[in-house]
Amino acid sequence: MAETLYDALHESHEIQRSLARRLLRSRPGTRERIDLFTQLRHELAAHEAAEERFLYAPMLMDDLGLVSTRHALHEHHEIDELVEDLQKLDPRGEPWLDKARELSQKVHHHLREEEKKFFQMSGKVLSATQKKQLAGRYRKDYARMHAKLAAE
């Protein structure tokens, strides 16, 4: 059976969960903490951009998806703001760890809500063909965004 958009999205969701957990377990002032934060930041940004283009945009075009998509976009914005806040803090300090916990909680909440509610609702709007086509387009843009972020 061909991959669907949800398969591709779920793969990134698992990467985000893993990176967020590992980040919270990392020791203050270590290179590992900085590297994990960079990886999580890039993963979130690449995923958000591609997801917004290839899942959220089509859902905004359907009345059934309007409210849920706006909510999901709002949560992406909140995650982005938490990442920006973390970039301004010293990764050795307690305020940084508190903000990292807040980010992890927000990411986990968003992914859970998306997988349990949004995917089911959008599955009623998108055709089987669209789900397969959007998977390829999502993966291509996701990879492009990762490459762009790594080059910065």
In order of their start, the domains of the chain are 5-151 (1.20.120.520)
Neighbours of 92 (CB within 10 A): 12
Q: For residues 112 and 108, what is the distance between their CA atoms, to the nearest angstrom?
A: 6
Q: Locate tokens 């789900």: which residue?
A: 131
Q: What is the DSSP letter of 64?
A: G
Give the mean pLDDT of the chain.
97
**pTM (2 decimals)?**
0.96
- Give residue-wise pLDDT tens across range 68-92: 999 999 999 999 999 999 999 999 9
CA separation, residue 61 to residues 52, 58, 66, 119, 132 (Å):
13, 5, 7, 16, 19
pLDDT tens for each residue of 27-44 = 998 999 999 999 999 999
Cβ atoms of 142 and 8 closer than 8 Å:
yes
User: Closest by alpha carbon to 143, among 7, 42, 4?
Assistant: 42
Question: Rounded to whole angstroms, how far apart are CA atoms 45 and 145?
Answer: 8
